[in-house]
Every structure is written in structure tokens, then in C-alpha cells.
Structure 1
Amino acid sequence: MTFPAQDRKPKISIVVSDLSSSGAGRWGGAIRPFLLAQALRQLDYDVEMLGVAFGEKSSAIANSAFPIISFPCQSHSGFFQAASKLIHQINGKIIYAVKLKPSSFGLALIKKNFTGRPLILDIDDWELSWHGGDKWKYDFNPKQIARDFWQPKGQLKHPDHPLYLKWIEKLASRADVITIHNQFLQQRFGGIYLPNGKDTSLFNPAQYDSEASRAKYGLSDYKILMFPGAPRPYKGVEDVLIALEKLNRSDLRLVIVGGSPYDDYDLQLQQKWGKWIIQLPKSPVASMPEIIAAAHIIVVPQRDSPATQAQFPLKLTDGMAMAKPILASCVGDIPHILGETGYLVEPNSPEQIATTLELILNDFSTANTKGIAARKRCIKQYSIEAMAEILKPILAKFSII
């Protein structure tokens, strides 16, 4: 499929599954849909982003770089009305759906069926992994169906219920192109490898003074381990805290940036290991490089599970771009992403984390050398520019560029 010469740069509509303040809207430019938008804009495409916003009463997201249009609705009501408006509003000649969900790919597929517009599907998670993976089954008992569908907050009223996630997996092949960001997803769904990129001009250690950053955030008295994201049990933060207990060094602290918007997990961590934790509030993307500059070591201690095997932890490229020593676990694509530029431990292993922390702190010169190599690797393989180079031939299938 090609477009006339005057349309060499057709508009691209990125359809996101949830643009609410607890979904994609929470992290703004730090997550996959916004990274895709940046890479597309590197190629001089016009971009718009659309999505429902579960649980929101108004459209609150603003971004001066490109239009962002959200359609508020409640999780169990109002979705069809919001979805109808969203489908009608998709103006791009190419549709790029992010996540294999009814609330994104499903709506984009409807638009494709009505218009014939090319559809790219980006899969950045195995959505069923959050529900037990292939073992998950729905109880098709008539009473259960009646409860789940007819009650005001029945589970089947949510468009991304695992039953619908299971069904929509079978429709993935209807996309014209699939992009994925790790080997696990590629083995399951096929597609073209498109790793997460980082804005390495923004995340540039040469622009920041680490000592000044530590002073600004009250961290000057410590050696700082940093987890720049929302802690969840599968992310292994507890293993780092157990390691700190084992080391029992008063100069070490774990800084958690942002915290969890989902539950009281942060409070649980504070109650058990508060003496080792410093919590910093969620910050806009533009502020994150300065915060990460304050770290001595970035920790990405993922535990081994189907969910983590299907992930590309963005915290890795945060640390790589900022030339920080990185301690991470051997889960999923992490060893491939880091190569020889970081320190790897087995998952679920506080003892190895403790030993490796001592190794890093006792030879910090070598650790910093690895950090410098990590930035070079990030620029070459995991930058926005690297993403754009991969996207260029993909988009050439649908347009002249």
C-alpha cells in the first residue's frame, strides 16, 4: 500500500489502552507510547495520541509536542460511548495500537476494518501474564456469567477482562505489522524487534552534577542505590532491602522514585524496612535525569515470572543513558540489554545482591567504567534514534519516506 507523493509523511494515530492518571498518563513521556511518538517525530511524521481514560472525569493530559486526546469513562460503564468517540476521532492514515488489549488494539482494528487503513500493533507486555497466563480459565457457569455481566460493576463489563484478553490474542495476526521489545514476546507473537529507546540528549550525564543533585534531594550523606519507578512485588525491591539488612552499612540507602499508584505496597515496604528507604515523589520526565544523577548505583532486581520475562525495564535505560553502574537480575532480556556493561545476579537472591554491592562499592572505578560503556551501548542500540532507524523500513511499507 502506498500513498500519493504529497502524502509522503502521513499522519500516524497512536491508540493507547488507558490514558488515565493511573495508566499511561501517570508516567507521561517516560513510557512506551510516548517513546514511539518521539521516534516517529524523529522521522518527521505528524503524530496524535488517543485513548480512553478509565476512572477519569475529564481529559487532563496536555503535551505541547503533539495532540493527546483522552476519552474519560468509568471502568465498568461508559466505555462504549467513549470508545465510539475515540474510533471516530482517529485521523491518522496509519494506526499504531499500543498493547494487545480490546481498549487499544480492539478499537484500532474496528477502525481498520471500516477504513482499510494500515494497522501496526505494538506488544509491550503479555497481558495474560498478570492473570496466570495460559492457565487462566473462565468459569462459564450461567450464574457466574450473570453476576459478571449484569451486576453494576460486573467483571465482564470491563473491556480488558482476561477473557477478552484471551480472545483478542487470536486476532493479533490481523495487524499489518507487529512490533515487540523482547525475545519472549517475539517467540509468542512474532513481529519485529523494536527495543525501548531513551532520549539520550535529555538523559546526558554531562549536563548534571551528581554531588549537586545529591545535595538538592537531601542525599549527600549516603551511598545511593536508586530504583526509579513504581515498586511491585515482582520487581524485587524487597530483595535489595534484605541485602541492605545483611550488609548493615549505615551509609547505604535505597531511594525509590515515584512509588506505587496501585495499592499500599510502598507503606508495607516502609513499615518493614523504612530505615533503609528514602522516598522521592513522582517527577516529570524532564526532572528524572537530575534525580538519577544523584544515584551511585541503579538497581533493577526483577524476580523471575512470566510478567517480568515479557518486560523491557525502562529503569535499565535510565541508568545506562546516565552512565551509572547498574545491578540487575538475569531475567528476560536484561542480560542481552546490558551486555558486559553492568552487574548481573540471579533473581530472588538477596545474598548475591549483597555480595555484588560490596564488589561495586569496593571497586567503584571499575563500576564507573562499566557505566560509561553502558551509555555508549544505550546510544547505539537503545536510543530514540535507534528506534527511529528500525521504524523507518516498517513505515516504508505504507508510505514513501
Structure 2
Amino acid sequence: MKTKVSLVVSDLSGGGAIRAFLLGQVLNKLNYQVEIVGLLFGKELYAIPPANISVISINGKKYPEFFLAAQKVLNKLDGDIIYAVKPKPTSFGLSLIKKFGSSRPVILDMDDWELSWYGGDDWKYRPNLKQLYRDLFKKDGALRFPDHPLYLKWMESLVNRANAITIDTQFLQERFGGVYVPNGKDTAMFDPHKYDADESRKRYGLSDYRVLMFPGAPRPHKGVEDVLIALDQLNQPDLRLVIVGGSPYDNYDDRLIQKWGHWIIKLPKCPVETMPDVVAAAHIVVVPQRDNLTARAQFPLKLTDGMAMAKPVLSTRVGDIPEILGDTGYLVEPVAPEQIAEQINLIFKNLDLANERGQKARERCLEKYSVEAMASTLELLISQL
């Protein structure tokens, strides 16, 4: 009988779902039975799950109703191994409760530094009595939200209670320890030889354009604005920035379109199985991260989208990005639109040479950032539990 792994996601309407889906694919390759269980605080799933992975979503609630939702999650966690994605009360906290009640081993995965969204180590919670009362008892009181930063801080102090930790950046490893499991790709699925770039561009209405692609959810730290400023500077009418999926968090996409709509084409989110065909339509994959705590702690998934599909990848010198790309990408300083503009010109000036570099990026991806590379690391880790 197959060993079962229950992956626990803090919010299936948030970005952690993508990392969970990726880990699920890797565990499937290792012949584990995989089930993803998570709360859903938004209206819909952040991403469309892979066809071969079972996903159970339970409506997330604020305290005190959260306790009922939490009990439903705990009832569904029947794996031999519990794998919590993110050190949040809604994933790792529930996983620890399951561990103490059932003695099942818990692995904790970290693909972000959660407190970085609130200022990192500088964040403090020092309310007066009146504010504390409001935060606890008002309908929208801050402490009624299960993943309030105060609770995140508490969770970080419990990280050593996990039986094993997986991380995806050097930043996180230095801070929390753990085993490096990067954001790899299914390089058999993301294989450029299976797709015709011209046909893909035709399919998505992009045949008339030179396509810069950002295959993810724009957020301020991801630097999409710097690419759009570069397009303003270049002012070449056949260039377009194609955003795939967009952001479910807020109206940031709309604000970008309001200001730079003439440069933007937005494609709807799609299943992971369709993404290689979409990325095939790109001439350049852009990953223009800005340099802040949040970005330094992340391994941008979009890097391996471009690398696996042998695309020229244009990115910034932030966090692990230079190490991930090695000499196979095009790197600029963060928040440097004029450098981005120069590199765009350079790439299109000699696109054949850029595509050769893209082929080297795929070779690097096959060696270091494939699901097979992830699988060999995870197999060893799980065997030691």
C-alpha cells in the first residue's frame, strides 16, 4: 500500500497553493499517494491544480468560527506524513496539532519569509488595552484573522518542532536551516521541442508582437512597473508585456493597466499543463524582482518557466537569482528601467544568440531545477524520517 502524504495549505486562494501543487507533483513521481488539504479564504483557488492531484478545500473563517474550520481540516489529515506549506497557524499550526495527537511526522516547507510582508524583525505588536480589546473582540478585529503577524511570529518560534524542514532559498536556509528544495519544473512537460512558438503566438493573439512575458501574479516587489517604464522609454509599437493569470490579491493589475494598458496584454490563468504552450509564445521571459526582504527570501517560479522552455530570461541581481541563472540569463540591477530597456534592445538585436543562451538555461534547469532533482532530495529526506 502506498504511503500517503497530506499537504496542508494555509490558503488555497493564495500563492502557497502553487508551491503545494509543485511538491505534490514531485511526491507523485516518487510514487506517494498525495492529497492537498487547505483552507480557502478567498472566492476561488489561486491556481488550477494539476489534473492528477486531489485537492480538498474548506472555507476559511476568522476566529472564533475558525475553530470549526480547523477541526474539519484536522479530520481530513489522514496521511502517513503531514507536509505543511508555510509556517502559518492555518497550515503548520494545524499540522503540529495533528502530530501531537497522532505521532505522524511533520515536514515544514518554507518558500517565503512570512514576516517580511510586515517589515521582518522590525515588526512589533504593542497595543494599549483599548486596542487589544478592539483587536480581539470587534467584528473585524486584527487578532481575529488566523494568520495575523503576531501568530506568524509565534509559529516561527515553533519551527524546530517539525521533523524536517524544506526551503527554497539561501536566505531562508541561513535563517531557519533546512534542506534546499528549489522551485523546479516538470522539464518533460516544459519541453520547447513539443511546441511551436509561432503557433502559440497565433493561438493567443500575439502574432503581431515581440512578446515580453511575465507568467505570474504582479505585485509591487516583482518589478513589473520597471519593465513598463522601460517600454515607455523604448517606445517601440510592436513590443508588449504579456501577463499570465494576474493577481488575485487586490486591484494592482487594474492600476497597471490604467497607466500602461497600451503595453499590456493579459491572458487568463490556466492549468499547469497549458502553461508550457503559453510560455512558448514568449520571445523573452521577464522576472524583474525589486530588492527588498520579501524578494530576497523568494525563488521566483517564473525563472524556471523561462529556463525550462529555453527562453532568454531577463532578471535582476536580487537574492538567489544570479546563482539560479548562472551565466545563462540577462541580469540588470533592481529598479533600473534604463538597463532593462538596453537588455531588451540587445536581445532583439541578436535573437539567435539570445535563444542559444536560453538553450543553456534549459540545460541548467535540467541539471539543477527539474522535478527529478527535487525528487531525489525529497526521497532522501523522507527516508530519514
Structure 1-normalised TM-score? 0.92
Matched, 1:169 2:156: yes
Matches within 5 A, 1:385-396: 385-396=372-383
Q: 1:183: which partner in 2?
A: 170
Kept in 1, the 8 Å contact 2:61–2:69? The answer is no
Distance 1:384-1:62 versus aligned 2 partners, 3 A rule: closer
Q: 1:19: which partner in 2?
A: 12
Q: 1:143: which partner in 2?
A: 130
Kept in 2, the 8 Å contact 1:76–1:154? The answer is no
The answer for unaligned runs of 5 or more in structure 1 is 1-6, 26-30
Distance 1:333-1:230 versus aligned 2 partners, 3 A rule: same
Which amino acid letter does the alignment assign opposite residue 333 of structure 2? E
Kept in 2, the 8 Å contact 1:56–1:73? The answer is no
Which amino acid letter does the alignment assign opposite residue 159 of structure 1? P
| Structure 1 range deviating more: 273-282 or 130-139 | 273-282
Which amino acid letter does the alignment assign opposite residue 245 of structure 2? G
| Distance across 2 between alignment mates of 1:261 and 1:14 | 22
Matches within 5 A, 1:230-249: 230-249=217-236
Which amino acid letter does the alignment assign opposite residue 290 of structure 2? R
Matched, 1:380 2:367: yes
Which amino acid letter does the alignment assign opposite residue 331 of structure 1? V
Aligned-residue sequence identity (percent) comes to 61
Which amino acid letter does the alignment assign opposite residue 10 of structure 1? T
Alignment counterpart, residue 86 of structure 1, candidates 51, 55, 73: 73
Q: 2:216: which partner in 1?
A: 229
Q: How many residues align?
A: 384
| Distance across 2 between alignment mates of 1:44 and 1:347 | 41
Alignment counterpart, residue 272 of structure 1, candidates 259, 277, 295: 259
Q: 1:4: which partner in 2?
A: none
Q: 2:298: which partner in 1?
A: 311
Cα deviations by residue, 1:73-97 (Å, 9 ceiling, x for unpaired): 3345521101112112211111111
Q: 1:47: which partner in 2?
A: 34
Kept in 2, the 8 Å contact 1:56–1:74? The answer is no
Q: Which 4+ stretches in 1 moved above 4 angstroms? A: 22-25, 55-58, 60-64
Q: 2:59: which partner in 1?
A: 72
| Distance across 1 between alignment mates of 2:155 and 2:123 | 15
Shift of 1:99: 0.3
Which amino acid letter does the alignment assign opposite residue 4 of structure 2? K
Q: 2:24: which partner in 1?
A: 37
Matches within 5 A, 1:239-388: 239-388=226-375
Q: Secondary structure at the match of 2:36?
A: strand
Cα deviations by residue, 1:97-126 (Å, 9 ceiling, x for unpaired): 110101000000011111211111111110
Kept in 2, the 8 Å contact 1:320–1:378? The answer is yes
Cα deviations by residue, 1:169-222 (Å, 9 ceiling, x for unpaired): 010011111110000000110111111111111111111111111111111111
Which amino acid letter does the alignment assign opposite residue 216 of structure 1? R
Distance 1:252-1:57 versus aligned 2 partners, 3 A rule: closer
| Distance across 2 between alignment mates of 1:55 and 1:146 | 27
Kept in 1, the 8 Å contact 2:212–2:242? The answer is yes
| Distance across 1 between alignment mates of 2:360 and 2:195 | 18
Q: Secondary structure at the match of 1:376?
A: helix
Q: Secondary structure at the match of 2:56?
A: strand
Shift of 1:140: 2.9
Matched, 1:121 2:108: yes
The answer for unaligned runs of 5 or more in structure 2 is none
Which amino acid letter does the alignment assign opposite residue 197 of structure 1? G
Cα deviations by residue, 1:269-304 (Å, 9 ceiling, x for unpaired): 112112211111222222211111111000000000
| Distance across 1 between alignment mates of 2:272 and 2:53 | 16
Q: Secondary structure at the match of 1:15?
A: strand
| Distance across 2 between alignment mates of 1:61 and 1:263 | 19
Kept in 2, the 8 Å contact 1:128–1:166? The answer is yes
Shift of 1:55: 4.2
Distance 1:14-1:262 versus aligned 2 partners, 3 A rule: same
| Distance across 1 between alignment mates of 2:131 and 2:159 | 28
Distance 1:15-1:296 versus aligned 2 partners, 3 A rule: same
Q: Secondary structure at the match of 1:268?
A: helix
Cα deviations by residue, 1:10-36 (Å, 9 ceiling, x for unpaired): 21111111123x5556xxxxx211111
Q: Secondary structure at the match of 1:12?
A: strand
Distance 1:23-1:314 versus aligned 2 partners, 3 A rule: closer
| Distance across 2 between alignment mates of 1:153 and 1:301 | 35
Distance 1:147-1:14 versus aligned 2 partners, 3 A rule: same
Matched, 1:102 2:89: yes
Which amino acid letter does the alignment assign opposite residue 137 of structure 2? W
Shift of 1:66: 3.3
Structure 2-normalised TM-score? 0.96
| Structure 1 range deviating more: 243-252 or 337-346 | 243-252
Which amino acid letter does the alignment assign opposite residue 147 of structure 1? R
